[in-house]
Amino acid sequence: MADVLTAAALFILAATAVALFRVLRSGVVAERMMAVQLLGTGGAAALLLLGSASGSAAASDVALLLALFAAFSCVAFVIGAAEPEAEPDPPEERP
């Protein structure tokens, strides 16, 4: 079982790596940003598989963090790229 899971993890890592290579060479900024999403899902999947294969429960914590960081970075990118009028939020209030 562990061998199958490890093989699947390596396969997914390879597929993600090819995709990463493709998007990071792209001239479109939003496509380069897809690298974050790729790392979030592909990285999480590979980590979960490796964690299950090796019996280390901590891997799922790292996968959780990866997924979380992927979400945060995409939001940061879009907020940074957006024009002021595109964000109709009220100015933040400070306590």
Partner 1 sequence: MSAVLGIVTIVLVTAGAVLFLAGTLGLLRFPDTLSRLHAISKADNLGLGLIVLGLLPQAASVTGGLKLICVWLLAQLSAATASQLLGRAVYRGRREP
Binding to partner 1 in span 25-64, by CB under 8 A? 28, 30-31, 33-34, 36-38, 40-42, 44-45, 48-49, 52, 55, 57, 60-61, 63-64
Residues 6 or more apart whose CB falls under 8 angstroms from that of 69 comprise 36, 40
Amino acid identity, position 10: L
Q: According to the 3-state scheme, what is the secondary structure of 18-33?
A: HHHHHHHCCCCHHHHH
Instruction: Give me the least distance between CB of 83 and partner 1, in Å please.
Output: 8
Distance CA 90, CA 92 (A): 6
Give CA separation, 95 vs 91, 92, in Å: 13, 10
Instruction: Give me the least distance between CB of 49 and partner 1, in Å please.
Output: 6
Interface residues with partner 1 (CB under 8 A)?
1, 4-5, 8, 11-12, 15-16, 18-19, 22-23, 28, 30-31, 33-34, 36-38, 40-42, 44-45, 48-49, 52, 55, 57, 60-61, 63-64, 67-68, 70-71, 74-75, 77-78, 81-83, 86
